[in-house]
Amino acid sequence: MENKPKEKIKKSKPKMFSTKMLNIFACLAIALIFWVFNALSHDYSTVVKYPVRLIIDADKYISSGSLNKDVSVAVSGYGWSILAHSFGIQNQPILLSANDLSLQKIATEATLLPQLRSILPDIKILNIIEDTISFDIDHRESKRVFLTLDKSKISLPQGAKIDGLVQIIPAFIICNGARKNINNLPDTISFSLPNTFIEKNYNEEVEINYRPSREITLAYNTVKVKFAIAKK
């Protein structure tokens, strides 16, 4: 009889985590939880960030920057309360209403400290780190900038001329923006026609490509231009 090769006996691998090891990890986890609970049951002092939001009347004021700021507040109190505010939990922003430009630069101690103490009764406010916070706001204004057609760039057929006045309807554009930018605008600007060679009476809508800065917007940028061509 032929001898059959002996089958290899597979040895069972030991389990990576035995019951004993699981018990050890469970004990460590429980110990850690108790340590955290115990640690947070004491008073602590730290610095937390607190949000501040400025509310403006968009019809009267315009902002060139963010209306949301954070202030650093030195506090002391119960561990759980400190933890909640450190991670932004329960942190409703302080709302400031801008009725005038007095809130461009805010003295934090005088303006924010009373509010912080009223909305954080479970924490002692030691002080606010920043002396001031600033918002870039200005009065919203509009200005009429009158238009003139640059005739020097118009080419006419030989022996022709522009007969009479050039009508521009409306005769101005309206620019909107912050007062500091509006005050720098000129009273009048000139523009050119998209087609410089004119053979007959002109009656077209023309786009005014005027954008002094991205902070300034135009109420409209199209006007009608009318004029007649006649022989000299």
Q: Does residue 156 sit in the same domain as residue 112?
A: no
Q: Does residue 180 sit in the same domain as residue 101?
A: no
Is the pLDDT at 39 greater than 50? The verdict is no
Q: Buried b vs exposed e over 54-85: b needs ≥16 C-beta within 10 Å?
A: bebeeeebbbeeeeebebebebebbbebbbbb
Domain limit, last residue, from 114, 135, 156: 135
Is the pLDDT at 83 greater than 90? The verdict is no
Instruction: Tell whether 14 is covered by a domain.
Output: no
Query: Six-digit token pair at 42?
Result: 């004491």
Is the pLDDT at 203 greater than 90? The verdict is yes
Question: Residue 43: what pLDDT?
Answer: 62
* Percent of the chain surpassing pLDDT 90: 31
pTM, whole model, 2 decimals? 0.64
Q: Does residue 98 sit in the same domain as residue 85?
A: yes
Q: Does residue 184 sit in the same domain as residue 128?
A: no
Q: Does residue 226 sit in the same domain as residue 187?
A: yes
CA separation, residue 91 to residues 4, 41, 70, 75, 128 (Å) = 78, 21, 11, 14, 16
Q: Does residue 97 sit in the same domain as residue 171?
A: no
Is the pLDDT at 11 greater than 80? The verdict is no
Query: How do residues 155-197 score in pLDDT, each as one tens digit?
Result: 999 989 999 999 999 999 999 999 989 999 999 999 999 988 9
Q: Does residue 110 sit in the same domain as residue 157?
A: no
Question: Residue 58: what pLDDT?
Answer: 85
Instruction: Tell whether 13 is covered by a domain.
Output: no
Q: State mean pLDDT over 14-26.
A: 59
Q: Does residue 47 sit in the same domain as residue 112?
A: yes
Q: Buried b vs exposed e over 166-198: b needs ≥16 C-beta within 10 Å?
A: eebeeeebebbbbeebbeebeeebebebeeeeb
Q: What is the CATH number of the domain that holds 160?
A: 2.170.120.40
CA separation, residue 155 to residues 31, 149, 163, 196, 228 (Å) = 91, 13, 14, 6, 14
Query: Six-digit token pair at 138?
Result: 């200005």
Instruction: Tell whether 29 is covered by a domain.
Output: no
The whole domain housing 155 covers 140-231
Q: Does residue 227 sit in the same domain as residue 145?
A: yes
Domain limit, last residue, from 120, 135, 150: 135
Query: How do residues 110-156 score in pLDDT, each as one tens digit?
Result: 788 888 888 777 777 888 888 888 888 888 999 999 999 999 999 99
- Tokens 């118009």 correspond to 154
Q: Does residue 227 sit in the same domain as residue 148?
A: yes
Q: Does residue 213 sit in the same domain as residue 128?
A: no
Instruction: Tell whether 15 is covered by a domain.
Output: no
Instruction: Tell whether 223 is covered by a domain.
Output: yes
